[in-house]
Structures are given as structure tokens and as C-alpha cells.
Amino acid sequence: MTKKSILIAGCFVASALCAQAAPRNPSGMKTILVLGDSLSGGFGLKPSEAYPALLANRLRSAGLNFELTNASQTGGTTEGGLERLPAHLKRKIDIFILELGINDAFRGVPVDQIQNNLKQMIDKVKARNPNVRVVIAGMQLPNYAADDYVSAFGKMFGDLAAKSGGALVPYLLDGVAGDPSLNLPDGIHPNADGQRILAENVWRVLEPIAREVSKGSSRSPNAFGARDLSIEH
């Protein structure tokens, strides 16, 4: 290899290292973290079909400069969320979308414990990001479950939103649950059409918050745009 070739190769390596070291959240770009389970992860679908990716597209189309990270995991529970959250606290979070709890309920975890775990996650995010806006995705259990538990579980999300100062998506699966045409054959996870409705359900709550949070950003939305950064499985 000639000296000239070595120099050129060295430049390429240096450029690659610089690109890897560059911050993934340019100054002025706001951030959204989605921490959820398979409903947010888009179980059985392409990542681009899950509602968080659809929200990223909506943000971009609205001219809102956000970077969205989908940290959802199939089978995710509130306990698991507490374990996974610290890795995401290293970066600033402007909006925190929390969608966990239904898998706990399917396992019979006491509602008080579920709520406590969710509150701990919110508290941890707020401790590192005092101005974070929290969006809580509410869930409901099928009617065949025990009535007292069903009632307490459904009510928990509204109580949590009120106590934490968060915004509530009353029922994430509104318009989707129980409709075979909007779910995968398992009857539990939304298909691509169902995920589009989930995106609408969340967008109604998220849009005004995102517009408020984005005020004062000095970067042009066209420079970066909203995008889905990462997906955990």
C-alpha cells in the first residue's frame, strides 16, 4: 500500500470514528422515549408499522423536530421496565410515553404493585429530566376477568396520571380491541391497520404536548426531522 493509499484509508477511518462519536441528539432537537411492551413494539409487524414509528412520521409531517426512541420489548412488564430504564436515562428526555402494565395484570400482579412500579419509572425520569412531559397509555382488561381487579386496573392509569401530572391516553386499544379485522390471528396484538388506530389514539394526546415542548427550538425541523432511533426486542 502506498503512502497516499494509507493516508486516504486513514481519512476514511477517522471519518467513520467521528461519525460514531457524534451525538445522536443534535442541539435543538427534542426527544421522546417510548417505554412499552409488544403493543408498542409492533409484535409480528415491521418496526415501521408500529405506532411509535407512525408517530415519528406524524411529528415530521407536522414540522415538529423530535427524535423518537422506541424502547419497547415483547413481554415487557413494569418490573422489567424498571430494569431497562436506567440505560435510557443517560440522554435527555423531553417527552416520556409509558405503556406498561397489561402483562403484569395477565400474571395477576396486584394493582398497587403495578402502579408503584409505574410511578417509580416516572419518578426516575423526572429526577433526571425535571421538565419532562409524561404521557401514560391507559389499558383495560377483558370483561371475563375478575370484576374487582378489572375495575381497579382500569382506574389505576387515570389515578397515576393525576398524581404524576401526566397526560392520559384513556385506552390505547380503543377502537381496536375485539375487532378481528384490526388484530393478528392471536386476537391480542394489533395488525398494521390496528397500529394506525393506536397511533391516532396517542396522537390526539401527544400533538398538543409536542407542539408546546417544541417551542423555542432553534433548529429547523427540515434539518433533522422526527425519526425512530432504536427498537428493543
- Given this model, what pLDDT does residue 142 score? 82
DSSP summary character for residue 183:
B
Q: What are the start-end ranges of the H helices in 99-167? A: 102-106, 111-128, 147-164
66 close to 32: Cβ distance less than 8 angstroms: yes
- Given this model, what pLDDT does residue 2 score? 44
- Given this model, what pLDDT does residue 35 score? 98
- Given this model, what pLDDT does residue 232 score? 47
Our CA dihedral for 78, 79, 84, 89, rounded to 10 degrees, sits at: 70
Which residues contact residue 16 at a Cβ distance below 8 angstroms, ignoring those fewer than 6 apart? none
| Given 5, 147, 186, 218, the catalytic residue | 186
* Closest listed residue to residue 79, CA positions, set 100, 95, 106, 99: 100
pLDDT in tens, the chain (233 residues): 444 443 333 333 333 333 322 334 455 799 999 999 999 999 999 999 999 999 999 999 999 999 999 999 999 999 999 999 999 999 999 999 999 999 999 999 999 999 999 999 999 999 999 999 999 999 999 875 568 999 999 999 999 999 999 999 999 999 999 999 999 999 999 999 999 999 999 999 999 999 999 985 433 333 334 444 444 44
83-118 pLDDT, tens digit each: 999 999 999 999 999 999 999 999 999 999 999 999
As a whole-number percent, the residues of the chain with pLDDT over 90 amount to 77
Does 96 fall in a domain?
Answer: yes
- Given this model, what pLDDT does residue 98 score? 99
- Given this model, what pLDDT does residue 28 score? 77
Alpha-carbon Rg for the chain, nearest whole angstrom, is 20
| Total structural domains within the chain | 1
Query: What values do phi and psi take at 78, rounded to 5?
Result: -65, -35
- Given this model, what pLDDT does residue 27 score? 54
* Parent domain of 138: 29-231
- Given this model, what pLDDT does residue 227 score? 43
| Given 38, 40, 164, 214, the catalytic residue | 38
- Given this model, what pLDDT does residue 144 score? 59
Neighbours of 81 (CB within 10 A): 24
Q: What is the model's pTM?
A: 0.82
Does 18 fall in a domain?
Answer: no
Does 14 fall in a domain?
Answer: no
Does 197 fall in a domain?
Answer: yes
Does 5 fall in a domain?
Answer: no
Q: CATH number, domain at 139?
A: 3.40.50.1110
Active site (annotated) includes residue 38: yes
* Closest listed residue to residue 37, CA positions, set 108, 105, 91, 95: 105
| Given 72, 88, 189, 228, the catalytic residue | 189
Does 13 fall in a domain?
Answer: no
Does 57 fall in a domain?
Answer: yes
What's the grid cell of residue 132?
Answer: 419532562
Active site (annotated) includes residue 148: no
DSSP summary character for residue 42:
T
Active site (annotated) includes residue 88: no
- Given this model, what pLDDT does residue 156 score? 98
From CA 141, how far away is CA 70, in angstroms rounded? 24
Does 36 fall in a domain?
Answer: yes
What's the grid cell of residue 52?
Answer: 411509535
What's the grid cell of residue 41?
Answer: 413494539
